Amino acid sequence: MGQSNFKYFCIILSFLFTFLLFLAIASLFLIPNPSEILNALKTEEMMFSLKLSIITSSISTFLIIILAIPIGYALSRYKVPGKSVIKSILDLPMAFPELVLGLAILLLFGQSFIGEFLENFGIKVVFTKLGIVVAQFFTALPYAIRIIYSTFEEINPRYELVSRSLGYGEFETFFNVSLPLAKNGLFASTIITFARCMGAFGAVLILAGGSYMNTEILPITLYLNISYGNIGMAITSGILLVIISFIAILVFEKFEGYKGE
Partner 1 sequence: MLIFGVLCGCLNENEEIQKNKPYEGKTITVLCGAGLMKPMNELIQNFENKTGAKVEVHYGGSAELFGILTTTGGDVFIPGAYKYTEDAMKKELILKETVKNITYHIPVIAVPKGNPKNIKNLEDLAKPGVRVVIGDPNACAIGKVSKKILEKNQLWENVSKNIIVKTPTVSQLLIYITTNQADAAIIWEDMVTWAEGKGKIDVVRIPKEKNIIKTIPTAVTIYAKKDGNLEVAKAFNDYISSDEAKEIWKKWGFIPCNQ
Q: Is 107 in the site for partner 1 (CB under 8 A)?
A: yes
Closer to partner 1 by Cβ: residue 31 or 107: 107
**Shortest separation between residue 240's beta carbon and partner 1, angstroms:** 19
Closer to partner 1 by Cβ: residue 101 or 195: 101
* Residue of 235, 219, 191, 187 lying closest to 31 (CA atoms): 235
**Shortest separation between residue 227's beta carbon and partner 1, angstroms:** 4
Q: Is 233 in the site for partner 1 (CB under 8 A)?
A: no
Q: Is 228 in the site for partner 1 (CB under 8 A)?
A: yes
Q: Which of 214, 231, 249, 255 binds partner 1 (CB under 8 A)?
A: 214
Closer to partner 1 by Cβ: residue 212 or 255: 212
Closer to partner 1 by Cβ: residue 106 or 248: 106
Q: Which of 28, 54, 63, 103 binds partner 1 (CB under 8 A)?
A: 103
Task: Using DSSP, state whether 210 is helix, strand or coil.
Answer: coil
**Shortest separation between residue 113's beta carbon and partner 1, angstroms:** 13
Q: Is there a contact between 127 and 209 (Cβ–Cβ < 8 Å)?
A: yes
Q: Which of 48, 168, 212, 255 binds partner 1 (CB under 8 A)?
A: 212
Q: Is 224 in the site for partner 1 (CB under 8 A)?
A: yes
Long-range pairs for 212-216 at CB < 8 Å and ≥24 separation? 212/45, 213/44, 213/45, 213/48, 214/129, 215/52, 215/127, 215/128, 215/129, 215/131, 215/132, 216/45, 216/48, 216/49, 216/52
Q: Which of 206, 218, 239, 248 binds partner 1 (CB under 8 A)?
A: 206
Question: What CA–CA distances, in Å, run from 174 to 40, 141, 150, 235, 241?
Answer: 48, 21, 16, 45, 36
* Residue of 109, 140, 136 lying closest to 125 (CA atoms): 109
Closer to partner 1 by Cβ: residue 56 or 178: 56
Q: Which residues of 164-190 are buried (b: 16+ CB within 10 A; e: fewer)?
A: eeeebeeeebbeebbeebbeebbbbbb
Closer to partner 1 by Cβ: residue 174 or 201: 201
> Hey, which residues between 109 and 138 contact partner 1 (CB under 8 A)?
110-111, 126-127
Closer to partner 1 by Cβ: residue 12 or 107: 107
For the CA atoms of 183, 184, 187, 190, what is the dihedral angle to 10 degrees? Answer: -100
Question: What CA–CA distances, in Å, run from 137 to 49, 105, 112, 254?
Answer: 18, 11, 19, 25
Where on the chain is the footprint of partner 1 (CB under 8 A)? Answer: 103, 106-107, 110-111, 126-127, 205-206, 209-212, 214-215, 223-224, 227-229
